[in-house]
Amino acid sequence: MNASGIGAVRTSTWQKGVVFKEVITDWQPNKQMHYRFDIDPDAIPDDALDKHVKLGGEYFSPLYGGYELSEDKSGNTILTLKTTVQDNTNFGVYSRIWGEVIFQDFHHSLLTLMKNRAEKSLIAAVSYN
56-91: per-residue pLDDT in tens?
Answer: 567 788 899 999 999 999 999 999 999 998 888 888
Range 40-53 average pLDDT: 73
Topology of domain 9-125, CATH: Alpha-D-Glucose-1,6-Bisphosphate; Chain A, domain 4 (3.30.530)
Secondary structure E strands in 32-92: 32-38, 60-71, 77-87
Task: Please state the domain extents for the chain.
Answer: 9-125
Task: Look at residue 40 and give its three-state secondary structure.
Answer: coil
How does residue 48 score in pLDDT terms, banded at 50, 70 and 90? confident
Task: Look at residue 121 and give its three-state secondary structure.
Answer: helix
Q: Which residues pair with 26 in a beta bridge?
A: 34
- The answer to whether residues 71 and 93 touch, using CB atoms and an 8 Å cutoff, is no
Taking phi over 0 as left and psi of -120 to 50 as alpha, with beta for the rest, 33 belongs to beta
CA 101/CA 46 separation, integer angstroms = 22
User: What pTM did the predictor assign?
Assistant: 0.78
Q: Which alpha helices (DSSP H) does the chain contain, by range?
A: 93-125
DSSP letter (8 states) at residue 127: -
